[in-house]
């Protein structure tokens, strides 16, 4: 392998940054997975992270709610702030962080419990509901916001795993928003879904943008183009280009971005 | 490259008749190989089934007769002068009276023609040596019967039982027979009057061990096995599950945990007698725990079942999809909450399977228990975890070793009981497993 | 488009599109040249051939539209590919218009007759040559992704416009002097106007090439030298 090109082209964010990452480096054991990442995620925007497999986009996403903590060989350096709070500070509790930063995963992974219990899990964990009625309200409104209420209102007690793939993923989104996070991270949320279910999720993402800041990792450039306002392109652990989605897909600055979005890699 | 490609062109098999024929030949060969493989599989399964049927059949055939016993109904005059001359009604006095005298009187009344001392002794030896205790127990429990004449069934000697079941040949010379002609005569008369007959062998299931085959029972061993298994399960299951959870979910992945893992796997393969020696050295000699006690047996068997449970539990935990764990962590659950809320409940069915395996193993184990003295001859039903006890497989071993003809069928009967014990244990575990599974 | 696509069929289709556009451009270029020549020589046969040849351009145009639609639907092109595909669609439209203008010029061969002043007739071939070089250069620019050439074409449009202005004034003067020349001069005026329009389309194409290659718009305030739209009173003509 030739030497890495560490240049980053950034079109500055106009508007408020919700998350700002500065000089983030990350190692898995001896191997460096992220090289000096500087990225801002705008408030109430959808920021798409794209790039080939193993480029570090998922790794970076997982830095934002410290899911990488569970990997013992993982070492991280740099500064990541949400609304100015350093999320890797000693004083900050990771449970607190994850209540602020929800996550939706690649494979729909509802708990093998009832639909109600799935959504109620987070609020129960963090003690958000004051009464049974309050909990029911939280569950209902979360399912409504996830666009699932109409489909499941008559079978809240049936298992969440019995839903279709797309419904399961929306259930996972409902579960994530039930604790009223500020940020929702999505790690390829549609990769296991059919186009109609994907379209529903994309529509949902667009609606959620009003209340949440969303960062989404996706392998589908079309999806990134459809749902995001800003796009960040990662390659070999380097943030190559970061700017408004339109610019990335019509007129990328960097040759690597150009090659990737036009399908000239490999 | 190009000339090679030019030399070897691949033609489709339909290109020529010759090729097609060769293709069909290969195809036929393939199907034949498949059919042969299937046949061998069926043969293997059939052999296994035949062996199983033979084994179970022979045990059932031999053991079934042990569930019936031979009793004789006698008219007993409960003479107050013999039982309770002072009229104290004290249970102790009543129980310790000479009931053999009453039995003798009854038999004499039945057979007044028997006069000789020797004949009388032969006649009385047809009754079980425990018969007097049976009567004593009955009278002690019902003191109002004293002074009355009651009809009471007492056990016969095991030789009479064998005779009735046809295991003693009548047409061999008297000297080679365990029962002489006189005794056969008495037996035939008793049968003729209808006093002597078969009955369900409640003794086998309700009493402890005995030197007399007609009095020997399994209950002591069943209770001993149960108590031992309770100790084993109580220790091995929580320990095994905790160890598995720690190793899978919390332990750092380094050389030490690797070594522990290898050692646990090796431990599962250690011969059971070694665990017995360990128990002898550590629990009995070092800690001074009681000999022959279920608590020690349970501890030793727990040591043996532990690796099996750990391995099965780890496999069950590994089988829980990581996505569930991620989901819980992503919601802000702590690692412990993740384990308690999701991993453990989801892996519980698998863990229970491991526990069933371990327990079944432990139930059938004999060797380590021999080392800690559970092979002793114990008549009493164990009353607690520290009282002397024996277990079913050891009981089988002991009976199989006994010279009396009657113990042959008893051994098979004990095996049947052991198997029933195993089956019911597994049934309970499978039921529990299904219940857990359905909850999700 | 240095590296090749992972999906080689995509490359093949993009090349096919490029080839089609360039061939269409070649035909349009030839038609313009032929039309101008036909007018100059009053060659009716050549004019006829030119008019018939325009059908080929129209066929190319519809083929290119189809290919572009197909590429957009099946390949979901991004960045340079997207710009190239959209740009060629625009260029094809421009070329189709150029073809129409050439046809229109050729049609006037008969009508123009002989009653035409010779002086302004010299301006037509000059305009024709200029327009041809613009069309040729813009096609070269597309073929070689040559931005500078495209910018040069755009800049030349101003000169063409100047030329057209002078022809306009000249013809107007002739018509005022001798009303018998009005028919001929009007035709010449239309021919000049058509050539000027071809130049505008060449400029459009140059802008499209610029966008394809750079991703940016050529700045919008392109020099406009055609002032004839503002002339109302013949006395204004100096």
| Contact yes or no for C10/A263 (Cβ under 8 A) | yes
Q: What is the arithmetic mean of pLDDT over A30-47?
A: 90
Residue A266 resides in a domain: no
A263 vs C78: CB contact, 8 Å cut-off?
yes
Q: What's chain B's Rg over C-alpha atoms? A: 33
Do B72 and B58 belong together in one domain? no
In the structure, what pLDDT confidence band is assigned to residue C3 with cuts at 50, 70 and 90?
low
Indicate whether B260 and B368 sit together in one domain: yes
Q: Quick check: is A1 in a domain?
A: no
In this complex, do A251 and C3 lie within 8 Å of one another by their Cβ atoms? no
pLDDT confidence of residue B46 = 97
Asked whether the beta carbons of residue A102 and residue B440 sit closer than 8 angstroms, the reply is no
Estimate the share of chain B in helix, then strand, then coil, as percent rounded to the nearest 5.
Answer: 70, 5, 25
Place of tokens 């041809």: C132
Residues B173, B263 within the same domain: no
Question: Residue C1 — very low, low, confident or very high, per pLDDT cuts 50/70/90?
Answer: very low
Q: Say how far apart CA B213 and CA B161 lie, in whole Å.
A: 10
Residue A22 main-chain phi, psi, to 5 deg? -125, 130
**What phi-psi label fits residue B98: left (phi over 0), alpha (psi between -120 and 50 degrees) or beta?**
beta
Structure confidence at residue A73 (pLDDT): 84
Contact B166, B68 (CB under 8 A): no
**First vs last Cα of chain C: how many Å apart?**
51
Q: Does the distance separating the beta carbons of B252 and A67 come in below 8 Å? A: no
- SS3 state of residue C2: coil
Average pLDDT over chain A, rounded to an integer: 88
Q: What is chain A's Cα-based Rg?
A: 19
Based on the number of CB atoms within 10 Å of its own CB, is B204 exposed (0-12), middle (13-18) or buried (19 or more)?
buried
The shares of helix, strand and coil residues in chain A, as percent rounded to the nearest 5, are 35, 25, 35
The answer to whether C148 touches C139, Cβ cutoff 8 Å, is no
C interface toward A at CB cutoff 8 Å? 3-7, 10, 76-83, 215-216
Which of the 8 DSSP states describes residue C174?
H
Of A221, A222, A263, the CB nearest to C5: A263
Tens digit of pLDDT for each residue in A134-165? 999 999 999 988 888 888 889 899 888 888 88
Mark B388-398 as b/e (b = at least 16 C-beta within 10 Å): bbbbbbbbbbb
Residue B173 region, left (φ>0) first, then alpha (ψ -120 to 50), else beta?
Answer: beta
DSSP three-state, residue A172: helix
C167-182 pLDDT, tens digit each? 888 888 888 888 888 8
Interface of A with C in 218-257 (CB under 8 A): 221-222, 225, 249-252, 257
| Of A226, A122, A227, A100, the residue nearest A172 (C-alpha) | A122
B48/B129 same-domain check: no
Q: Does A99 touch chain B (CB under 8 A)?
A: yes
CATH number of the domain bearing residue B332: 1.10.3720.10
Q: Residue C229: its pLDDT value, please?
A: 62
Statement: residue A24 has pLDDT above 80? yes
Q: Judge if B394 and B420 occupy the same domain.
A: yes
Cα B328 to the center of its chain, rounded Å: 44
pLDDT at B42 (0 to 100): 97
Which of C169, C115, C132 has its CA nearest to residue C35? C132
- Which candidate from A72, A105, A112 shows the least CB-CB separation from B252? A72
Total domains in chain A come to 1
Domain containing B355: what range? 219-439
Confidence of residue C222 (pLDDT cuts 50, 70, 90): low
CATH class of C8-236: mainly alpha
Task: Give whole-number Cα distances, A6 to A146, B69, B379, in Å.
Answer: 39, 93, 85
Query: What span, in angstroms and rounded, lies between the C-alpha atoms of B307 and B267?
Result: 6
Q: Are residues B12 and B73 in the same domain?
A: no
For the segment C79-111, what is each residue's pLDDT rounded down to a tens digit? 888 999 999 999 999 999 999 999 998 888 877
In a domain, B190, yes or no: yes
Helix axes B294-319, B272-279, angle to 10 degrees: 130
> B252 with B112, same domain?
no
End-to-end C-alpha distance for chain A, whole angstroms: 14
Which residues of chain B fall below pLDDT 70?
1-7, 438-440
Which of C79, C212, C214 to mutate to probe the A interface, most A CBs <10 Å?
A: C79
Could you tell me if residue A147 is left (phi over 0), alpha (psi between -120 and 50 degrees) or otherwise beta?
Answer: left
A74-82 and A213-217 beta bridge pairing: unpaired
Q: Same structural domain for residues B238 and B276?
A: yes
Residues in chain A: 266
Mutate to test the interface with C, among A11, A233, A263, A266 (most CBs of C within 10 A): A263
| Nearest in space to B290 (alpha carbons), one of B362, B231, B233 | B231
The domain boundary residue, chosen from B174, B206, B238: B206
CATH number at residue A139: 3.40.50.300
Q: Helix crossing, C147-177 with C182-214: angle to 10°?
A: 170
Average pLDDT over residues A101-122: 90
Cβ of residue A259 closer than 8 Å to a chain C Cβ = yes
**What was the ipTM of the complex prediction?**
0.84
* A71 in a structural domain: yes
Nearest by CB to residue A258, choosing from C10, C76, C79, is: C79
Q: Do A98 and B332 count as a contact with CB atoms less than 8 A apart?
A: yes
Annotate C102-130 with b (16+ C-beta within 10 A) or e (fewer).
bbbbbbbbeebeeebbeebbebbeebbeb
| Gap between the Cα atoms of A67 and C166, Å rounded | 75
pLDDT band of residue A92 (cuts 50, 70, 90) is confident
Task: Count other C-beta atoms under 10 Å from residue B219's C-beta.
Answer: 17
Confidence band (pLDDT; 50, 70, 90) for A120? very high
Tell me how far apart the alpha carbons of residues B52 and B63 are, in angstroms, rounded to a whole number. 16
Chain A meets chain C (3+ C-beta pairs below 8 A): yes
- CA–CA distance, B303 with B361 (Å, rounded to integer): 12
What does the pLDDT read at residue C225?
A: 57
Q: Are A47 and A228 in contact, with CB atoms under 8 Å apart?
A: yes
Q: Determine, for residues A250 and C83 on separate chains, whether the beta-carbon distance falls below 8 Å.
A: yes
Q: Do B324 and A112 touch (CB under 8 A)?
A: yes
Q: Do residues B103 and B153 share a domain?
A: yes
Q: Which of A121, A122, A179 is nearest to A145 (CA)?
A: A179
Question: Rounded distance, CA C101 to CA C108, Å?
Answer: 11
- pLDDT, one tens digit per residue, over A239-255 is 999 999 998 998 888 88
- Tokens matching residue A124: 């129960």
Chains A, C: CB contacts within 8 A come to 42
- What pLDDT score does C233 carry? 58
Query: Are B43 and B174 in the same domain?
Result: no
Domains in chain B, number: 3
All structural domains of chain C with their residue ranges? 8-236
Place of tokens 């299904």: B434
Which of A65, A70, A99, A176 to substitute to test the interface with B, most B CBs within 10 Å?
A: A70
Domain residues for the domain of A65 are 9-261
Distance CA C53, CA C59 (A): 10
pLDDT attached to residue C226: 61
Residues B276 and B297: their CA atoms lie apart, in Å, by 9
- The average confidence (pLDDT) of chain C is 85
Check C79 against A251: CB less than 8 A apart.
yes
Q: Are residues B129 and B167 in the same domain?
A: yes
Same domain for B178 and B136? yes
Per-residue model confidence (pLDDT) at position C95: 93
């Amino acid at each position: 392998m030739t030497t890495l090109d560490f240049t980053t082209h950034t079109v500055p964010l106009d508007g408020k940054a919700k998350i700002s990452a500065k000089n983030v480096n990350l190692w898995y054991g001896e191997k460096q997975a992220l090289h000096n990442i500087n990225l801002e995620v705008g408030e109430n925007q959808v920021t798409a992270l794209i790039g080939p497999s193993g480029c570090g986009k998922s790794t970076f996403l997982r830095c934002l709610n410290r899911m990488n903590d569970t990997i013992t060989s993982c070492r991280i350096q740099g500064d990541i702030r949400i609304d100015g709070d350093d999320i890797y500070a000693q004083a900050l509790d990771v449970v607190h962080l994850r209540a602020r930063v929800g996550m939706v995963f690649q494979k729909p992974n509802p708990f093998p419990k009832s639909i109600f219990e799935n959504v109620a899990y987070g609020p129960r964990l963090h003690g958000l509901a004051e009464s049974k009625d309050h909990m029911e309200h939280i569950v209902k409104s979360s399912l409504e916001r996830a666009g699932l209420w109409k489909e499941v209102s008559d079978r809240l007690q049936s298992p969440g795993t019995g839903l279709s793939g797309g419904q399961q993923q929306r259930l996972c989104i409902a579960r994530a928003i039930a604790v009223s996070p500020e940020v929702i991270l999505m790690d390829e949320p549609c990769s296991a879904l059919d186009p109609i279910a994907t379209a529903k999720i994309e529509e949902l993402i667009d609606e959620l943008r009003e209340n949440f800041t969303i960062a989404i990792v996706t392998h589908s450039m079309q999806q990134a183009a459809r749902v995001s306002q800003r796009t960040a392109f990662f390659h070999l652990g380097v943030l190559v280009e970061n700017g408004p989605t339109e610019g990335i897909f019509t007129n990328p600055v960097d040759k690597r971005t150009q090659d990737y979005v036009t399908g000239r890699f490999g | 490259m190009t000339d090679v490609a030019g030399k070897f062109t691949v033609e489709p098999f339909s290109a020529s008749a010759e090729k097609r024929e060769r293709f069909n030949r290969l195809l036929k060969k393939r199907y034949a190989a498949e059919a042969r493989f299937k046949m061998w599989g069926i043969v293997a399964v059939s052999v296994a089934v035949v062996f199983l049927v033979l084994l179970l059949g022979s045990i059932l055939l031999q053991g079934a007769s042990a569930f019936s016993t031979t009793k004789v109904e006698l008219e007993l005059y409960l003479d107050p002068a013999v039982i309770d001359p002072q009229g104290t009604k004290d249970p102790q006095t009543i129980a310790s009276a000479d009931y053999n005298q009453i039995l003798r009187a009854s038999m004499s009344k039945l057979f007044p023609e028997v006069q000789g001392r020797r004949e009388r002794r032969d006649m009385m030896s047809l009754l079980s040596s425990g018969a007097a205790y049976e009567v004593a127990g009955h009278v002690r429990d019902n003191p109002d019967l004293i002074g009355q004449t009651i009809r009471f069934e007492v056990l016969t000697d095991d030789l009479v039982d064998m005779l009735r079941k046809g295991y003693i040949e009548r047409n061999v010379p008297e000297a080679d027979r365990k029962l002489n002609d006189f005794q056969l005569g008495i037996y035939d008369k008793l049968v003729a009057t209808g006093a002597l007959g078969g009955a369900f062998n409640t003794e086998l299931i309700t009493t402890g061990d005995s030197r007399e085959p007609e009095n020997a029972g399994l209950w002591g061993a069943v209770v001993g096995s149960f108590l031992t298994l309770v100790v084993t399960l109580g220790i091995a299951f929580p320990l095994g599950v905790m160890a598995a959870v720690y190793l899978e979910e919390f332990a750092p992945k380094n050389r030490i945990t690797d070594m522990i893992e290898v050692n646990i796997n090796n431990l599962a393969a250690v011969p059971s007698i070694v665990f017995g020696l360990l128990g002898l050295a550590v629990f009995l000699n070092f800690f001074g725990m009681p000999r022959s006690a279920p608590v020690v047996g349970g501890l030793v068997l727990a040591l043996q079942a532990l690796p099996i449970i750990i391995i099965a539990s780890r496999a069950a935990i590994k089988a829980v999809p990581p996505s569930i764990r991620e989901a819980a962590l992503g919601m802000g659950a702590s690692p412990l909450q993740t384990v308690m809320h999701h991993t453990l409940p989801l892996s519980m069915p698998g863990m229970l399977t491991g526990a069933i395996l371990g327990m079944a193993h432990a139930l059938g184990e004999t060797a380590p228990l021999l080392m800690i003295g559970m092979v002793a001859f114990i008549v009493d039903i164990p009353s607690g975890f520290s009282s002397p006890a024996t277990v079913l497989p050891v009981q089988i071993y002991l009976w199989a070793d006994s010279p009396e003809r009657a113990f042959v069928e008893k051994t098979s009967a004990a095996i049947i009981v052991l198997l029933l014990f195993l089956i019911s244990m597994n049934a309970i575990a499978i039921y529990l497993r299904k219940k857990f599974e359905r909850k999700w | 488009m240095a590296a090749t696509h992972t999906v080689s069929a995509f490359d093949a289709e993009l090349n096919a599109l490029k080839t089609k556009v360039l061939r269409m451009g070649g035909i349009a270029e030839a038609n313009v040249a032929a039309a101008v020549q036909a007018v100059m020589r009053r060659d009716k046969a050549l004019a006829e051939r030119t008019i018939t040849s325009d059908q080929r351009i129209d066929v190319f145009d519809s083929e290119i539209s189809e290919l572009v639609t197909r590429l957009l639907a099946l390949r979901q092109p991004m960045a340079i590919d997207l710009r190239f595909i959209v740009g060629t669609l625009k260029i094809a439209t421009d070329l189709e218009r150029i073809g129409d203008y050439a046809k229109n010029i050729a049609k006037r061969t008969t009508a123009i007759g002989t009653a035409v002043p010779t002086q302004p007739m010299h301006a037509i071939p000059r305009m024709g040559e200029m327009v041809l070089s613009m069309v040729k250069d813009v096609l070269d620019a597309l073929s070689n992704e040559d931005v500078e050439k495209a910018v040069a074409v755009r800049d030349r449009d101003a000169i063409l416009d100047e030329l057209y202005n002078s022809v306009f004034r000249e013809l107007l003067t002739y018509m005022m002097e001798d009303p018998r020349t009005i028919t001929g001069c009007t035709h010449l005026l239309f021919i000049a106007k058509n050539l000027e329009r071809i130049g505008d389309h060449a400029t459009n194409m140059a802008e499209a090439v610029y966008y394809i290659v750079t991703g940016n718009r050529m700045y919008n305030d392109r020099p406009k030298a055609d002032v004839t739209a503002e002339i109302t009173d013949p006395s204004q003509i100096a």
